[in-house]
Structure 1
Amino acid sequence: MIPMLAPLFTGDWTEEGESLAYAPDWPADAIPVSQLINDPMLLRDTLWRHARYRGVVGADLRAATSAWSLSYLWTLLPAFAAAASVLQHRFPVGADDMAVSLDGDGAATRFHIRRLGDALPGTSTGERYQPLLADHLDPLFAALRAQTRIAPKILWGNAARYLESVLEQGLALTGGATGIAADHHALLECAVNDDGSTNPLHGTRRVSTRVESGVVTPVRLHRQCCLYYLLPGEGYCGLCPLAPEHRRGADPDH
């Protein structure tokens, strides 16, 4: 694990901290992220491998692509977001700056960087997160849409749910540090960015209810359905806005 991350990733979170590796050279079998994004045949082969692993039959790869993105994002985001928000350190996360290791089913298992990036104390959320959003996720999601016609809002919703999980863990560990709270607000609660552009991570979260031990409890649903229920043998998660108990005339791309 990168030493600066070690105090942040202990216990059940240790594996997430180990998903980002630093060395002067990338492993020989790692794929530059820019190559994965810009080589349509490579990306399509990766998605088909994951679709076969998920038992998908037919040409519609949207659900498998969403599932692939969830694995990719959970491998990518925890270490980067923890460093960016808790330590105010930005790892080099642009597509040209990273390589990714994939397993036999096409899923991301580890990301690799060749330099440690920069300490950016006192900088804005945008300064620390923009390379992730504009130089990595935006072109990746565009490539995935071109391959499978998956709605970008599904992919950004997947990213938002994982960023929220990491940031809320950071808030819990730090007793609600104001800097982390500010990042949470800017990334997830603001419809527009500081420059006036639309924030793709923002989305409406409806509140529903569930009964736990006879008590009606409010629950905040995910911003977007991840389409997991369309995979063979899978169903709706408990926070899915398309689950029958939560559905309000939505379609599978909402």
Structure 2
Amino acid sequence: MNGMGNPQDLLSRLSGPLAPIRDRLSHGPEFRRVVPSAQVLEADVFACLMQSYARRFGVKSDGYLVSLWSQKYLATVIIPVMALSVIGGQAVHADIETTEIVVDDDGEPVALGLPSAFTTEEADQTASLLVSTHLTPLVEALAKRSGLSRKVFWGNAAHYLEWIVRQLPGKNPDFALPAPMTDAIRYVEEDGLRLRRRKVCCLRDRVPGVEDCGSLCPDRVKRIKP
């Protein structure tokens, strides 16, 4: 439709610091488990994934574990979609109904399977398209299954979105996160340093053996603990 081929054609342009993003994309036949993204919204499929993930940590599945798992999922979707869109100059199709998630033996998302096409939208529309066609139904389902606030999951999404945009060629210093994650990441001055900080804690450190987010964490008590 635009002479650009498909998103997979851009993999060679993910070089230097962006090269690791290639590993977040599924290429050709998969020997690993592939789950259609839309099935993650289904209660039984999601419960199965979380049971596998809980075994990794030796815990029962709970809201804190869902938040940690969501960070893996969101990174797997947001980072490659934004990178390929910016490099290609048009938004990549990443509707939750047309993508697939590759998971490891513990149910952790490790790679994304994309449709082989771009949208007709410009690259600067990618974030808003992701919100409307993928992230909103996902966040609704995660909040329902976990009992956590939607703000936790939008904060998780905002972290990866804001981070990857600032790593890409031609990065826009005035990039504004789309609603409903508009103010989920902010910058603060502390001890002469400019630091990124979440507005809402992701609660990942409630999972045994998992550390908090350091200076990114909004909880001052956690940041100053010995």
| Class of the TM-score when normalised by the shorter of the 2 chains | 0.7 to 0.9
Q: Are 1:31 and 2:35 an aligned pair?
A: yes
Matched residue, 2:96: 95
CA contact (8 A) 2:91 2:124 kept: no
Which of 1 and 2 has greater Rg? 1
After the TM superposition, which residues 1-254 of structure 1 pair with which residues of structure 2 at under 5 Å, given as runs?
Answer: 2-7=8-13, 9-21=14-26, 29-37=33-41, 39-57=42-60, 61-118=62-119, 120=121, 123=122, 125-126=124-125, 128-170=126-168, 173-174=169-170, 176=171, 180-181=172-173, 184-185=175-176, 187=177, 199-203=179-183, 205=186, 207=188, 209-210=190-191, 216-238=192-214, 239-244=216-221
Structure 2 vs 1, CA of residues 64 and 19 (structure 1 numbering), >3 Å: closer, same or farther? same
Residues 13-47 of structure 1 show CA distances to partners (whole Å, capped at 9, x for unaligned) of 32213322365x8879421111221x211111212
CA contact (8 A) 1:51 1:65 kept: no
SS state at 1:219 partner: strand
Structure 2 vs 1, CA of residues 131 and 206 (structure 1 numbering), >3 Å: closer, same or farther? closer
How many residues are treated as equivalent by the alignment?
216
1:165 is displaced (CA, Å) by 1.1
Amino acid of the structure 2 residue aligned with 1:33: S
Find the aligned partners of 2:114 and 2:164 in 1 and give their Cα distance.
20
* TM-score where L is the length of structure 1: 0.74
SS state at 1:21 partner: coil
SS state at 2:82 partner: helix
Identical counterparts, % of pairs: 24
Matched residue, 1:191: none
Find the aligned partners of 1:217 and 1:6 in 2 and give their Cα distance.
36
CA contact (8 A) 2:94 2:115 kept: no
Structure 2: give runs of 5+ residues left out of the alignment.
1-6
Matched residue, 1:195: none
1:110 is displaced (CA, Å) by 1.3
Structure 2 vs 1, CA of residues 10 and 153 (structure 1 numbering), >3 Å: closer, same or farther? same
CA contact (8 A) 1:228 1:236 kept: yes
Root mean square deviation of aligned Cα: 2.7
CA contact (8 A) 2:10 2:87 kept: no
1:62 is displaced (CA, Å) by 1.5
Structure 2 vs 1, CA of residues 243 and 53 (structure 1 numbering), >3 Å: closer, same or farther? farther
Structure 2 vs 1, CA of residues 91 and 217 (structure 1 numbering), >3 Å: closer, same or farther? closer
Structure 1: give runs of 5+ residues left out of the alignment.
189-198, 211-215, 248-254
* TM-score where L is the length of structure 2: 0.82
Find the aligned partners of 2:154 and 2:162 in 1 and give their Cα distance.
12
1:149 is displaced (CA, Å) by 0.7
| Aligned structure 1 segments of 4 or more residues deviating by more than 6 angstroms | 25-28
